[in-house]
Amino acid sequence: MQLLAFCAILFCMPSLNQFLVSGSMPPPPSSTPHTMSHTMSHTISSNYKRPIIFSDVDGTLVQYEDKEDDEDLDADEALKRSDFLDSLVSMPATSTGKVGYISPRTLELLCRIKEEYDGYVCLVSGARTSTLAQRAPFFVHEGRSAIDAFSSESGGRLFVNKNEENDLGLFEELTFYGERHDLAPLSSLKAKLREANFVVDDRDYTHQFRLRRSKQENDAMKAAFDELLVKSETGVEGVSKTANLGCSDFFPSTSGKRSIGAFLASKMRELNEISGTAGKKRLCVFTCGDDDNDVELAKGDFVDFSIFPKKVRRVMLHLRTAAATA
């Protein structure tokens, strides 16, 4: 449902991936404007033209079946739910065995953002690289890739779609971005936590590790996890943390969802200036998410619009009001 809001504010953008991978410039975008409804044209088309979409994945675009809800359904409701799930695109299971679903309508709207309005869509997630790499080929609608890039491990690694035809989604990692991060402090903190008897999840992570409360071995360690979760600082210079899906994610301070968003937004602005379109239509950056780390992304000074569920929007309104009065 959050994605529907994007479809009212869609415009025009050249290829950022070509610029990132090869450094070569694509031809300037066509000067022919895309038609929009009279209302949208009148209210916002004079201010915005090139949307960049940074979207969370789990809980935002990809949803999970709630088994507890199923127990309360009668036979007819259970059949309807089963038919509904059959209409969705199922994603490969995560490392923890969870199977996510995405609506074909969501994929269609992502493609509309890209194709009708030359939008740029990047998934930004705290998930393992292996999980997102398996899922990326499933972000396809009618044989066309619905995303231009994805960033895994809380912004630590970045992959872009090399295929200019956007049909299969052939993603290549931008290794120079990952090499910007100093991983030594992260490794040091991970070792200290293990020495303190925390169970650390670093499987298939290179630029992040995760602590899960449920994986801690006894009540004392669960209590220690709770204390650690509420702390805003990690105690180690060069390492940051955030809450994500009830877990605590640790990553280099140069990483994080806000950092990857700022990096790509700056590259797009650079591309905008080089292609001679600066000053005509400014970029418009959207974020879409549902968790604490998505709030951090939305607080970036490069963001124009953020779309959240109602309960998170209340938090965002408070944060923006506090920032405005500080």
pLDDT class for 35, splitting at 50, 70, 90? very low
Read off the pLDDT of each residue in 229-245 and give the average, rounded to a whole number. Answer: 86
3-state secondary structure of 31: coil
pLDDT at 8: 40
H or E element: which one contains 251?
strand 247-252
Full DSSP string of 27-78:
PPPPSSPPP--HHHHHHTTTTEEEEEEEE--BTTTBEE--HHHHTT--HHHH
Residue 199 CA to residue 210 CA, distance in Å, equals 9
Residue 61 CA to residue 155 CA, distance in Å, equals 17
What pTM was estimated for this model as a whole? 0.75
Q: What are phi and psi of 256, to 5 degrees?
A: 100, 155
Looking at per-residue confidence, does 277 or 193 come out higher? 193
Residue 279 CA to residue 71 CA, distance in Å, equals 56
Flag the least confident range among 35-49, 165-179, 183-197: 35-49
pLDDT class for 240, splitting at 50, 70, 90? very high
Flag the least confident range among 2-6, 184-188, 297-301: 2-6
Flag the least confident range among 66-80, 221-235, 250-264: 66-80
pLDDT at 19: 46
pLDDT at 186: 95
pLDDT at 297: 87
Flag the least confident range among 35-49, 56-70, 143-157: 35-49
Residue 169 CA to residue 166 CA, distance in Å, equals 6
Flag the least confident range among 45-49, 102-106, 145-149, 205-209: 45-49
Looking at per-residue confidence, does 30 or 239 come out higher? 239
Quick check: 142 pLDDT over 80? yes
Contact yes or no for 285/304 (Cβ under 8 A) = yes
User: Ranked by mean pLDDT, which of 115-124, 193-202, 220-229, 230-239 comes out on top?
Assistant: 193-202
Read off the pLDDT of each residue in 211-237 and give the average, rounded to a whole number. Answer: 89
Looking at per-residue confidence, does 284 or 258 come out higher? 258
**Vertex 263, ends 116 and 208: CA angle to 5°?**
110
Flag the least confident range among 9-13, 44-48, 286-290: 9-13
Quick check: 24 pLDDT over 80? no
Read off the pLDDT of each residue in 210-237 and give the average, rounded to a whole number. Answer: 89
pLDDT at 113: 83
Looking at per-residue confidence, does 97 or 256 come out higher? 256
pLDDT class for 243, splitting at 50, 70, 90? confident
Name the average pLDDT for the chain: 75
Read off the pLDDT of each residue in 265-291 and give the average, rounded to a whole number. Answer: 71
pLDDT at 325: 53
Read off the pLDDT of each residue in 297-308 and give the average, rounded to a whole number. Answer: 84
Looking at per-residue confidence, does 95 or 218 come out higher? 218
